[in-house]
Amino acid sequence: MKNLILSLALMLSASANAQNPIIPTRYTADPAPLVVKDTLYLYADVDEPGADFFWMYQWRVYSTTDMVNWTDHGELLGLDSFTWADDRAWATQCCERNGKYYWYICAHSKLSGGMAIGVAVADSPTGPFKDALGKPLYDDGKWDNIDPTVLVDGKNAYLVWGNPEIHQAKLNDDMVSFDGDVTLVNQNEKSFGAPSPANRVKGKKYKDIYTEGPWLSKRGKNYYLLYAAGGVPEHIAYSMSKKPLGPWTYKGTIMPQLNTTNSFTNHCGVVDFKGHSYFFYHTGNLPGGGGFDRSTAIEEFKYNADGTFPTIMPTKEGVKPIATFDPFKRVEAETIGDSKGVTTEQNDKDGVYVTDIKNGSWIKVRNVDLKNGATNISVQVASASQGGYIDVYADSISKTPLTVIPVAKTGGWEYWTVLNSELRNCPSGVHDIIFAFRGQKGRKLMNFNWWEMK
């Protein structure tokens, strides 16, 4: 027990000031943020552990109101959501228009043998989503059709995608068809640092090269196209315009390529939320991560006075909380500020829950406002084994736990029971809350669905 606490304390101490990567429970890549009222939603594709290529099968959604605790809403789309798709669930972006949510995806098309652009629609940012067309939105049999980005600009909407060419189109009001033809963006040294691939001179050193992963956005009167650049390894560069589809002017690098990211690709998204500007990107910096096992990260930044981007460097510290967290209502256990040794699962009845909990696993929820101090905590758990213990701490596991909750066998991994426990010497004010799990070594102990303080 003493050795376990020491080991946990060392791990938690090492992560105390680290927010990046922001999703510790699985590998997530190509982050696409969307703000809906007071909530920021993150749409991401998922790397399979240990893969030797971008073999990807699902898209997930996460959300936050404070930028440090993220709720896993589960796999809301997968390759099986599109009858025409059979492989490579790559980068996506979701937008809202007229009360509906349109999620643009790319995947390998079994109809043409190339990559294709699809679109799913829902009445909520967390679905349920369904294929809006039953066929690709765009599928010409080529491999260019990846990484769609969408911008709703007043009464108009635009879709841009592609590697190594940049495809663009105006969307109709229905958001699932094009108003006119799909055209190619004219790449030249002024607009993107280099000509389109067919016009490049072999051996010539260009200022920069558009590669993939475009992100189309607007702020004030400026339009921005951010993208992965330079070939492999990639950095993030951008171009600006006064019109949504150009003409573009190359402006330079936003995030340089650094060995510290442990990833030879990058893919960004930019959003303003509650008075802050955030830059989303991915690294390979989760344990076991790398070029095919990537992880979402965020940096806060401020635009320059003329609307251009500053240089943004990747950090382990990430972003600071912008709100406190309320523990006096049902909190989904999959709402996580940091964790070790757990992942999530879902079913139609229970939704998403935390699983694979073993001896030494832990979950931290950050910036929790305990007000005048809580007196009781309830947890919903399930166990098909002999269970274990949940030790609940404020701020540090080197302190005396607020409570120890014994978890007995419940009869199955989804046979849930609610346990209540008195909190002793619970502090007032804002603190991190840590759930530390212990029990028989080497086996799964329990599943964790939700918790609530009183």
Tell me: the pLDDT tens digits for 422-432?
Answer: 999 999 999 99
Q: How far apart are the first and last CA of the chain?
A: 29
HEC profile for the chain?
A: CHHHHHHHHHHHHHHCCCCCCCCCCCCEEEEEEEEECCEEEEEEEECCCCCCCCCCCEEEEEEECCCCCEEEEEEEEEHHHCCCEEECCCCCEEEEECCEEEEEEEEEECCCCCEEEEEEEECCCCCCCEECCCCCCECCCCCCCCCCEEEEECCEEEEEECCCCCEEEEECCCCCCECCCCEECCCCHHHHCCCCHHHCCCCCCCCCCEEEEEEEEEECCEEEEEEEECCCCCEEEEEEECCCCCCCEEEEEEECCCHHHCCCCCCCEEEEECCEEEEEEEECCCCCCECCECEEEEEEECCCCCCCCCCCCCCCCCCCCCCCECCCCCEECCEECEEECCEEEEECCCEEEEEEECCCCEEEEEEEECCCCCCEEEEEEEECCCCEEEEEEECCCCCCCCEEEEECCCCEEEEEEEEEEECCCCCCCEEEEEEEEECCCCCCCEEEEEEEEC
Given pLDDT bands bounded at 50, 70 and 90, which one contains residue 11? low
Percent of the chain scored above 70 by pLDDT? 96
For residue 287, the number of C-alpha atoms closer than 13 Å in the C-beta half-sphere is: 8
Structure tokens at 123: 């009445």
Task: List, in order, residues 6 or more apart from 151 with CB less than 8 Å away.
Answer: 95, 157, 158, 160, 216, 217, 218, 223, 244
Is residue 355 scored above 90 in pLDDT? yes
Percent of the chain scored above 90 by pLDDT? 96
Tell me: the pLDDT tens digits for 192-232?
Answer: 999 999 999 999 999 999 999 999 999 999 999 999 999 99
Is residue 3 scored above 70 in pLDDT? no
User: Per-residue pLDDT averaged across 109-136, rounded?
Assistant: 98
Give pLDDT, residue 230. 97
Give pLDDT, residue 4. 53
User: Per-residue pLDDT averaged across 39-67, rounded?
Assistant: 97
430 forms beta bridges with 369
Contact 36, 124 (CB under 8 A): no
- Nearest CA among 454, 453, 391, 450 for reference residue 72: 450
| pTM tops 0.85 | yes
Mean of all residue pLDDT scores within the chain: 96
Residue spans per domain, the chain: 20-301, 331-453
81 forms beta bridges with none
Q: What CATH number has the domain spanning 331-453?
A: 2.60.120.260
Contact 309, 319 (CB under 8 A): no
450 forms beta bridges with 332, 380
Tell me: the pLDDT tens digits for 149-198?
Answer: 999 999 999 999 999 999 999 999 999 999 999 999 999 999 999 999 99
118 forms beta bridges with 105
Given pLDDT bands bounded at 50, 70 and 90, which one contains residue 18? confident
- The CATH label, of 2.60.120.1600, 2.115.10.20, 3.40.1160.10, 2.60.300.12, for the domain at 20-301 is 2.115.10.20
